[in-house]
Every structure is written in structure tokens, then in C-alpha cells.
Structure 1
Amino acid sequence: MPQFKYEGRDMKGRWQRGTIASESKRDAVLKLRQKGIKVIEIAEAPQALLNKEITFGKAVKLQDFVIYLRQFATLIRAGVSIVDSTRILVSQTESKALQKALIDIEESLRSGNPLSVSAAKHPRVFPSLFVNMVKAGEASGSMDETLERLADHFEKMHRTRQKIVSALAYPIAVAVMAVAVVTFLLVAVVPTFVEMFADFHAELPAITKFVLQASEVMQTYWWLVVIAFIAIYVLFSLMKKQKKIKYYLDYAAMRIPIFGKLVQKAALARMARTLSSLFSSYVPILQALSIVENVVENEVIAKVMKQARDALERGQSLAEPMRRHWAFPPLVTQMIAIGEETGSLDAMLAKVADFYEAEVDAGTDRLKSLIEPLMIVLLAGLVGTIATSITVPMYDVFNHIQQ
């Protein structure tokens, strides 16, 4: 939000100066008048780099957002107004970004704006799914039910994401440990044997030559290795922001052996859960499909959602584009087709989401039990290779001396 520097006098004639956050200069002046300050000069303050709020990824953790929704729904059900509920929740949340957004939303609500409009001003905090479902809740007068439904949706999404993260956490941790151990051995341990091997004046095994060369490279060009890792990370982050490139990344992720099925099921569960929540809140179907296209976080699924929306606009079935795409199993398309015929699309999609969320749970458990021994074998193999490259020449020399 813009910051405005002001100078003026309070009701006792004392000179006041400072900064105030506001959407516009006019709003800033009105806020200062409410505080009893007569503005003499006001201008937008340039935001220095050090004063800017720097965030990486999502502004608010999903867990904090779920807690906020639960508390909000409870307050509304207890008969507390939306404005007062927002004021109360400002002091309840532990997320600074959410707290800052709620302060601004409270001011917007007191100015007469609806919650959906106020929340839409903070897209990094409140996703389009929240804004549109709240808008539907405002129209139907069932705000408490809408907030409960949103809390259920984000809670299940958080649980599914945590399952996937926990499945990947172990192999990533072991991989980092393996890199750290191998780096330590190559930089600190292997060099101590270089002079000893040089004094042998004997032909070293190929594995020993390879490890010694790797050690030399690591000692000389370690900074290049660090830069390469950083460059790969930055490049990958930039590529994910390009829709066309992200489509191929998502395609590859869904096709990769072992992990691909898990990624596919998680994306389908997210798609089905989001559509079900939107339909249950009476959001128009075309608008719901547009929202899913933007929030599903998988460009392969998003492309099919766009094709499904185009098919509906032409008067065709929602399930038809999905039926033609490899990413959508028969279970999904058949359940959606039945939902279209019976008018219970939200219930059918909820069942699809439940099924695939359970599949993700079971899949992550199986994956963890499979990966753990493989990663241990990998770590042992790397360390064993370095140890073998050092001990084999020493045994050869010892045997030579004995003879």
C-alpha cells in the first residue's frame, strides 16, 4: 500500500509530521482528519528498498489462512458483524501479512465496501477462490456457511500438500546430507592422501584417479559449483513463471516414473475440490472454471479446464474435453458426466476429491517406504566409493612391501 508523508497541525495547534498508509492521497487526508490533524502538506513517499516488504512465494501460510477462516466463520455464526469480526481477527492472527491486509479491509468495510471487494485488493493474501465464494455468500446471505466451506477446502488442500511435502522431505534431506558428506570428504579428507599416493610411484586404479581429480576440481572450482547451483535454482524459478514453459514442466512431472502418478492425483484432487466448493457456493459454472484454471497450479490441468469452459460455451458437455485427455482417468470423467445428468455435480466432484486425496495419502506412504532404503543405499554407495578409492591403493602398496 502507498505511504504518504504529511505535515500539519493537531487540534491544539501543535505541529505534526509523519507517514500514513492509504490507498490514495484523498483517503490519507480523510484518515488524518479523523485523527484530528489538519493537513497542510502531503505527498506520496518514495519507497526505499529497505522499507519495502519483501516476500517469497505465498504472502500467508496456508495453515494461518485456515485458522483465520475458522475463527471468522465462528464469529459470524455467533452474530458478530463482519466489521467487528475483522477488527477482532486483526489481533488474533500471527501472520503479519494477513494482519496488515485485515487492517486495510476493516477500513474499507467501514467505508461501505463489501468484503469481497475489500479482499480483492489483496490478491497475494486472498486468492480469487476466496473472493468469488465470499461474493456468492454475500448474495445468498449464507456467509457463515461459505466461510466454513472455504475453511474445509483449504484445510483439506493443506493436508494433501503436507502429505506430499513429508514424502519428499526425507529424500531431500538425505540428498543434502550426501552432498555435504561427499563435499567434506573430497575437500578435507582426500587431499591428505595425495602426497602419499605420489610417493608410491605406482599406477593408481581408475576409481582412485577419478576421486583425486574430483577432489582437485572441488578445491579449485568450489565457487563455480556454488554459482551453478544458484543459477539452476534461479533459472528454474523464472521458468516456472512462464506459462508455456511451466506447462512442459508440469507435463514432465506428471509423466515421470513413480512420482508422476502422485503429482497427477494431487492435481486432480485440487481441481475437483476447488470446483466442488465453488459449485456448492452457487458460483456460475463458467466463472468457476475460470477460477480453477487460475488456482489449480498445474498448467496441464488448467489447459483442459479452459477447453471445458469453451465446450460449455458451445453447448457441449463439461466432461467431453476431459474424456479426450490422458490426465483425466475414466473415474473422473464418468463421475462428472453423472453429475451433469443428475444435477449433483458438486457432490460428485467432492467424491472424486475424497478418492484422490485418499490415494495421495496411500501413495505418499508407499513412496516413503520405497525411497528411504534407496536413499540410504545411495549415501552408503557414495561414501563407500570414496573410501574404496583410498584404501585399494594402500592395500596394493602394503602387499608389495610384504613381498
Structure 2
Amino acid sequence: MAQFSYVARDRQGNKKKGVIQADTKQAVRSILRERGLRALEVEQKKQTIWNQDIYFGQPVKLEDFVIFLRQFSTLIKAGVTIVDATRILTEQTESKALKKTLAQVEVDLREGNSLSSSLNKHPRIFSPLFTNMVYAGEVSGSLEETLEDMADYYEKHNKTRQKVKSAMTYPVVIAVLAIGVTIFLLLSVVPTFVDMFAQFGGEVPGITRFVMGASDWMTSYWYVVVIMIFALFVIFYLLRQRRETKYYLDLMMLRLPVFGKLFRKSLLARMTRTLSSLLSNSVPVLQAITLTEKVIENEVLARVLRESRNTLEQGRSMSEPMLKHWAFPPLVTQMITIGEQTGALDRMLDRIADFYESEVDTATDQLKSLIEPLMIVFLAGIVGVIVMSIMVPMFEIYNNVN
């Protein structure tokens, strides 16, 4: 499919310009006619490295995606066709990536494809979880309710993620600030005093010798620090790509002293919320577990979910592997077992998700109040050591002079 730029006139005679994804110029003219526009110029755009869109991370923000789902659901409830709703949202959305993708989805819809199959062609924007939910909504005839449910799901997921991110942001900022201040003092301030101490001679304290040695090393080999930091990021990224090493990195994350419990609660909230949303929209349980395994983004919990799927295939309870694993508290396993026995698994999972989302809110607030004074003491300690290494010999020089 190629990109075509066009110039057209609407029924009032106003000129309109834009870009459409289509196979041929004739297809572009047909799309414009259906939109009530008369094509004046249609030109295919040449694809070069300069006009290609490059995205880092998620192309569409969760906030923009939630707004899109809310609007889509409202339009369908109001009786607007899926094709027209897609066209309206293409014009209204502020996300460049979403706008471009919806334009392509509109073309596929006009060619007679279903919404789920059209969305499935763009996995970078629409996850398998979302496209499967849309498919379930199409089959059951409740697409607008499904879109509304997905908007609630992504909204809650975004809220939980932002809470965890905000709890992590403060210590990371303080750590970066501490490293920056330390490097500045070692490279700019300490060398000045080193020259002064050399002129006066005499023995300097051990702490001063240590800081002076660190300053000399940093001045001579600062590029080694840069290379090491870059190498650590690359190694970490490569290790995350392999399932085996990713498992141990995820395990280490869950075992962290203070943050491990917070990460575990956040993951359990996401896992149960995802499973609940899929099951309540009539997605088969085995398929729901497979999709949740991909969404969870933690290999430790993903392995348990794979084992749960295997036990279900053998006719046993999905909670069996969870009962044996330390990452799943008794609350989770007991409520899942009750849900299986009573046939209300989706509702039980929904209650577990509500509980752990509330727990994440409380834990992040407590964590921030605890970490703030600790990080201030940490920063003050690093700066204090360097300042002390300078002040102690200065007092000795002053006393000797007097």
C-alpha cells in the first residue's frame, strides 16, 4: 500500500488537502468520493528515509488510545457505521501514528474487511489482546460495549503504571543528580584544591587521598565511564531479548528489597485485570491465558501462566501451578479456585485486580514518603564526603600556618 497526497473540493467548494494510504490512484478517488469530495490532484508520494515515520517506544500514548476507544464506542452507539466512525476519528485524533494507521484501517474496511482483521494488520499500534477482544465483540454483536470495556481496561492499566513510574522517578532523578554532582566536583573542584595541597606539602588524610585518587582517575579516564554505562545498557537490552536470561532479570526485579513487592502487586493487578476482561468478553479461557502471558511482560509470571494453561488442557485446575509458586499470594490462588468452582472466574479476577490496584496506590504513596528523606541523606552523604575531604586538610594547613 502506497501513500498518496491529494487536493480536493468539498460540496461547498472549499479546498481540502491530505494524505491517504491506498493501492492505486483510482482507489484514492473512490475514497474521496465516498467522503463527499471531488479529487482535483492525486499524486503518489515517494518513500524515502526522510519522510518515513520513526517511533521509539510506544507509537501511541495510552491516554490517546483511551480517548480513541471512548469516542469510537460513542459513535457506534449513536448509530454511525464503523467505516464513518473510523473516518471521523482519523480526522479528529491528535496522535500522528494513530491518524496514519486509522486511515489505512478505513481503506481496508471499505474493501470489505472486518474491523478485527483490519486492526490485526497493525500490531505495532493494536495489540493481539485488543484485536482479539474486538473480534469477540464482532462475533457477539456487542462491539460498542467491548470498546467501552477496553477503554476502562487501558485506563486502569495506565493509572497503575503511572503510579509505579512516579514511585520510581524520584530515586532515579536523585541518583542521576548525585552522579552528576559527584562528577562535577571530581572534575572541576577537587583538582583546584589538589594543586593547593601540593604547594603546601605535608601528609593529607586518607579520605582526601581517596577523593584525590578518584579525581585523577576520572580526569584521565572519564571516557571509560561513558563506555561502561553504554555497554551496561546494551548488555541489559540483549539479555532481555533472550527468554532464559530475561527470566533471571525479572526474578531479580521481583526480589528487590523495597520495590520488589510493588512490582509484584502491579503485575498481579495487570494479569488479573487482563484475564478478567478477556473472559468477561467470551474469549476462551486457554486463549485468554495465552494472550495474558504475552501482555504480562514478566517471564516469571508468564511461566506460571504457561503451566496453568497446560494443567487446564489436562482437565485440572488452573490454580494448581500458582499454589506452588511464591509470587502468587494465597488471596489470588484461593479466589481463582473459588471462581473456577462457582463458574464466576471473571468476577473473582476483577475483584483481585481491584484489590491490587488499590494496594499499588497505597504502596506508592508510602514508598515516596519513605524514599524522599533516604535519598536526601544519600545525596548529602556523597557531597559531604567530598567536601570533608577538602575541608579537613584545609583546617590542618590553617592550624600549621598559625
Q: Same fold (TM over 0.5)?
A: yes
Equivalent residue for 2:389?
A: 389
One of 24, 27, 46 as aligned partner of 1:28: 24
Which residue identity is paired with 1:96?
A: K
Q: How many residue pairs get matched? A: 382
The answer for unaligned runs of 5 or more in structure 1 is 7-18
Amino acid at match of 1:168: M
Correspondence list, 1:139-158, <5 A: 139-158=139-158
Identify the residue that residue 306 of structure 2 maps to in structure 1: 306
Q: Check conservation: 2:21, 2:104, Cα contact below 8 A.
A: no
> Cα 1:280–1:371, aligned 2, differ >3 Å: closer, same or farther?
same
Paired residue type of 2:260: G
Report the counterpart of residue 358 of structure 2 in structure 1.
Answer: 358
Instruction: After TM superposition, list the pairs within 5 Å mapping 1:2-401 onto structure 2.
Output: 3=2, 21-22=21-22, 27-28=23-24, 30-31=26-27, 34=30, 48-401=48-401
Q: How many Å separate the matches in 2 of 1:65 and 1:33? A: 29
Question: What are the superposed Cα offsets for residues 200-253 of structure 1, whole Å, 9 maximum, x if unpaired?
Answer: 221111111111111122222222212221221222222222222211111111
CA shift, 1:78, in A, is: 1.3
| Residue type at the aligned position of 1:53 | D
1:4–1:28 contact (8 Å) kept in structure 2 = no
Instruction: Confirm or deny: 8 A CA contact 1:68 1:93 kept in the other structure.
Output: yes
Secondary structure of the residue aligned to 1:56 is coil
Please tell me whether the aligned partners of residues 20 and 28 of structure 1 are also in contact (alpha carbons under 8 angstroms): no
For 2:237 and 2:157, the matched residues in 1 are separated by 23
CA RMSD for the aligned pairs?
A: 2.2
Shift of 1:29: 5.9
Q: TM-score, normalised by structure 2?
A: 0.90
Please give the alpha-carbon distance, in whole angstroms, between the structure 1 residues aligned to 2:50 and 2:311.
Answer: 49
Which amino acid is 2:357 matched to? E
2: distance between equivalents of 1:235 and 1:64? 33
Q: Distance in 2 between matches of 1:94 and 1:20?
A: 17
Distance apart, 1:135 and its partner CA: 0.4
Task: Provide the rounded CA distance (Å) in 2 between the counterparts of 1:390 and 1:295.
Answer: 53
1:367-402 Cα shifts (integer Å, max 9, x gaps):
111110110001101111110000111111111222
1:30 shift after superposition: 4.9
Structure 1 residue 49 displacement after superposition: 3.7
Q: How far apart are residue 283 of structure 1 and its match?
A: 0.5
Q: In 2 relative to 1, CA 371–77 (structure 1 residues): closer, same or farther, beyond 3 Å?
A: same
2:283 aligned partner, one-letter code: V
Distance in 2 between residues matched to 1:298 and 1:325, nearest whole Å:
14
Distance 1:20 1:119 in 2: 17
Q: Cα offset for 1:32?
A: 5.4
Secondary structure class of the residue paired with 2:257: coil
Task: Give 1:342 deviation, angstroms.
Answer: 0.8
Q: Alignment partner of 1:57: what SS?
A: coil
Q: Secondary structure at the match of 1:325?
A: coil
1:21 and 1:28 in contact (8 A); partners too: no
TM-score (norm 1): 0.90
Runs of 4 or more, structure 1, over 2 Å off, are 2-6, 19-22, 27-37, 47-53
Distance 1:264 1:384 in 2: 36
User: Percent same amino acid at aligned positions?
Assistant: 57
Gaps of 5+ in 2: 6-18, 33-38
Q: Structure 2: which amino acid aligns with 1:59?
A: P
Q: SS at 2:107's partner residue?
A: helix
Q: Distance in 1 between matches of 2:192 and 2:205?
A: 18
Quote the Cα distance in structure 1 between the aligned partners of 2:69 and 2:60.
Answer: 13
Q: Which residue of 2 aligns with 1:16?
A: none
Distance 1:66 1:81 in 2: 20
For the 8 Å contact 1:76–1:144, the answer to whether it is kept is yes
Match of 2:251, SS state, is: helix
SS in 2 for 1:221: helix
CA pair 21-104 structure 1, distance change in 2 beyond 3 A = closer
Q: How far apart, CA to CA, are the structure 2 residues paired with 1:296 and 1:359?
A: 18
